[in-house]
């Protein structure tokens, strides 16, 4: 039995040789044979199991570092001014913990490191952040840390402390309207439909909110 492709080829050749009224019938049969052969070829490879693409997982540490660095001065931290006798006070803490006061003394014992850092935190009211614990390997590193000042002043706050031009003014705090304190126009606001709502827990104690009455609503209620 001849294959379907050979049959289609033979049918086409016969149609070209015979000609006449049978030629269209033979050509139509040849085209149907080609379509059936093509569908069988597609069905043969349709259920072939595809290969899984190789996916390379990139490390996410770099992206996390970039995200932390982008926060900049917005990270919350407390200011710290080192005292003048910071070295002597650390030496006394080391002596109470039976640790050599030499700067080359290594802090390898985790229990000893914990007790020393807790004692220094109580003494200076300033703790070592987790991101800098690995940098303190000796007593000299600990003294250097507590001898370094920490300034939490933002660039925006620093602008208000310098001599600015007369046409430039820095307003640090918000100015919120309240009819009890803004009495220049007898407690009237330029935005009668806007209320001053303080929703944050941090600023509720600092700023007082105000719900503005709607005069147009009162007039409509009377109608």
For residue 2, name the pLDDT band (cuts at 50, 70, 90). Answer: very low
Would you say residue 187 has pLDDT above 60? yes
Work out the angle at residue 145's Cα, subtended by the Cα atoms of residues 144 and 147, and round it to the nearest 5 degrees. Answer: 65
The pTM of the whole model exceeds 0.75: no
Work out the angle at residue 189's Cα, subtended by the Cα atoms of residues 183 and 190, and round it to the nearest 5 degrees. Answer: 135
The pLDDT value given to residue 24:
56
The pLDDT value given to residue 90:
94
Cα–Cα distance, 24 to 10 (Å, whole number): 15
* Most confident residue range from 2-6, 17-21, 28-32: 28-32
What the chain holds in terms of domains, given with CATH numbers, is 83-147 (1.10.1200.10), 175-222 (no CATH)
Cα–Cα distance, 219 to 214 (Å, whole number): 9
Distances (CA, A) of 172 to 4, 49, 69, 161: 87, 66, 25, 11
For residue 78, name the pLDDT band (cuts at 50, 70, 90). Answer: confident
The predicted-structure confidence for 88-112, as pLDDT tens digits, reads as follows: 999 999 999 889 988 999 999 999 9
Which tokens is 44 given? 């043969």
Residues 6+ apart with CB under 8 A from 148: 82
196 three-state secondary structure: strand
């Amino acid at each position: 039995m001849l294959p379907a492709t050979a049959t289609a080829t033979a049918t086409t050749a016969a149609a070209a040789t015979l000609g006449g009224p049978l030629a269209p019938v033979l050509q139509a049969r040849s085209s149907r044979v080609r379509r059936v052969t093509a569908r069988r070829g597609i069905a043969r490879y349709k259920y072939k199991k595809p290969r899984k693409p190789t996916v390379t997982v990139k490390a996410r540490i770099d992206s996390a570092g970039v995200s932390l660095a982008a926060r900049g001065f917005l990270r919350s931290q407390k200011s710290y001014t080192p005292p003048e006798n910071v070295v002597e006070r650390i030496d006394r803490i080391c002596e109470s913990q039976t640790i050599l006061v030499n700067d080359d003394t290594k802090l390898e014992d985790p229990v000893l490191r914990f007790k020393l850092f807790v004692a220094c935190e109580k003494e200076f009211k300033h703790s070592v952040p987790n991101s800098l614990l690995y940098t303190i390997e000796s007593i000299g590193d600990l003294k250097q840390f507590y001898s370094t000042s920490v300034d939490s002043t933002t660039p925006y706050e620093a602008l208000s402390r310098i001599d600015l031009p007369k046409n430039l003014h820095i307003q640090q705090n918000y100015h919120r309207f309240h009819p009890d304190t803004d009495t220049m126009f007898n407690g009237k606001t330029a935005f009668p439909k806007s209320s001053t709502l303080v929703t944050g827990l941090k600023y509720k104690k600092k700023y007082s909110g105000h719900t503005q009455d709607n005069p147009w609503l009162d007039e409509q209620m009377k109608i």
